[in-house]
Structure formats: structure tokens, C-alpha cells
Amino acid sequence: MSSQTHHDRLDQATARRLAKLREMPVDTSRLDRLIESRIPPPHAVPDVVFRLRPLRAAAAAVALLAIVGAMIWSLSGGAAQASPQVLAQFHEELVSGKIPAIRVDSIAQANQALAEQWKQAVQIPEIPSEHVIFCCMRQIQDKRVACVLLRGMGDVPVTMAVAKARDMKMSGGEIRAYKGLLFHIYSSGRLNMAMTERDGRWICLISQLPVENLMEIAGEIRF
């Protein structure tokens, strides 16, 4: 390989690594409080559902979205703790389209797309009752977390975050049982989160839907 070609490869690898900094999670809770105290939000903030209504017309066909596998990036072996603020940010950024995401037509296609990029991608489970729209790969500390955006009940968006159970720890929050499953319940602003572990996978559902709806969706997941 010529040195110019190798230099180009180096340059591109550096650029790609810098691009991944876009996925670095940040906690905006303090910034949110500071700004909202100076600029009180209007009472009628447009609901995110309105943004998705055109998609309902455009995406009549059932499309399930890709599964994003979680990858272990660090050799530390320590599990990561996902804060409600970080999870809320994942949801907002996916809903608003601010981060790169993959659209696929089936879970099988999504699994394939992910496996091509991440050899150890975790299989995302099926949720028969939900339409999947987008997916992306995020990171919590040094652990990879797959996020899929679902069109939930009444077209309210739901983000499902999936990772290997050994990569994530659950602590705090209210503990609730539903149909034999144990959930850790959190909230951040207007968003609710229901976190659970099943079949070696850590799963968290994030949405404006009531917690009961999130637990019901989690109960429909097929492993």
C-alpha cells in the first residue's frame, strides 16, 4: 500500500472516530433547569405526536426497525448505570431526528444491518404489536446500547433501549411487578421509563405513555 493511501486511511479513520463523539451522552438536566428558569416554556408545546402524523400516512406498511446490538468497548468489565436524564436524551434525540439512524423494513433486515457493522450485535427481540421506525447505536459510559424508535399506542413514540444484561446495572427507582416481570420505574420531565432484564438482555422503554402501558409493551416482547 502506498504511503499516500495509508495516510488517507489514517485521516479517514481519525475523522470517523471524531464523528462518533456525536453519540456521547450528555446530561442536560442542570442546563434545562437554568434555561427554563430564565425562559419559561410555553404551556402548549407542540406534542411530538404531531411530528409523526405525516409518517403514519407515509409509512402504511408495517416496518420493523433494526436492532442495534450493544457492544462492549472497554476492557474494564464494569457494568454501566444509565441515568434517567441520559435515557431521556436518547429518546428526544431519536424522536427529533437529530442523530443518524437506520430505517429498515423488517427486524431480520435490521439484524443483518447491525451484524454487518458490529459482529457481536445483540439480537433485538420482536414486539409484534409495535411498528418500528428508526434505530441507532448509542453509548453509556463505555457500553454500547441499541435504541429503536417504536410507534406506540395512539402513535405516541416509544424508545426501546437494549443492551447485554451484564453490561448494565439497575438500581434505584420504584420497583414494580407486572405479569411476573420486575421493573425499575423512573421518570425525567414528561418521560417515563420502565427498565427490566429478560433473557440475558437489559431493556428499557422510554416514552410519554403511562408506566402501565410501557410495562404492557414489555410484556409482549418475544424472545
Q: Which residues are at the interface with other proteins (CB under 8 A)?
A: 3, 6-7, 9-22, 24, 26, 28, 30-32, 34-35, 38-42, 45-46, 73-74, 89, 92-93, 96, 98, 139, 142
When the beta carbons of 93 and 197 are compared against other proteins, the nearer one is 93
Shortest Cβ 46–other proteins spacing (Å): 7
Closest separation between CB of residue 154 and other proteins, Å?
22
Of 27 and 126, nearer to other proteins (C-beta) is 27
Residue among 13, 211, 190, 193 nearest 87 (CA): 193
Shortest Å distance, C-beta 179 to other proteins: 34
User: 85 or 111: whose CB is closer to other proteins?
Assistant: 85
The 3-state DSSP class for residue 22 equals helix
SS3 200: coil
Quick check: 111 and 95 in contact, CB under 8 A? no
Q: How far is the CB of 156 from other proteins (least distance, A)?
A: 17
If the CB atoms of residues 20 and 56 are measured against other proteins, the closer one turns out to be 20
CB nearer other proteins, residue 21 or residue 177: 21
Task: Give burial (CB, 10 Å; 0-12/13-18/19+) of 84.
Answer: buried
Looking at the Cβ atoms of 46 and 154, the one nearer to other proteins is 46
User: How far apart are the C-alpha atoms of 137 and 13, rounded to whole Å?
Assistant: 18
- Shortest distance in whole angstroms from residue 83 CB to other proteins: 14
CA pair distance 201, 124, nearest whole angstrom: 9
Q: Who contacts 168 (Cβ-Cβ below 8 Å, separation ≥6)?
A: 79, 80, 81, 82, 140, 143, 145, 202
Nearest-approach distance from CB 84 to other proteins, in angstroms: 15
Shorter beta-carbon distance to other proteins: residue 63 or 82: 82
User: Least distance from C-beta 98 to other proteins, angstroms?
Assistant: 6
From first CA to last CA, the distance across the chain in angstroms is 46
φ, ψ for residue 73 (rounded to 5)? -100, -20
CB 202 within 8 A of CB 162: yes
Q: Which three cell numbers stand for residue 202?
A: 437489559
- Enumerate the β-bridge partners of residue 134: 149
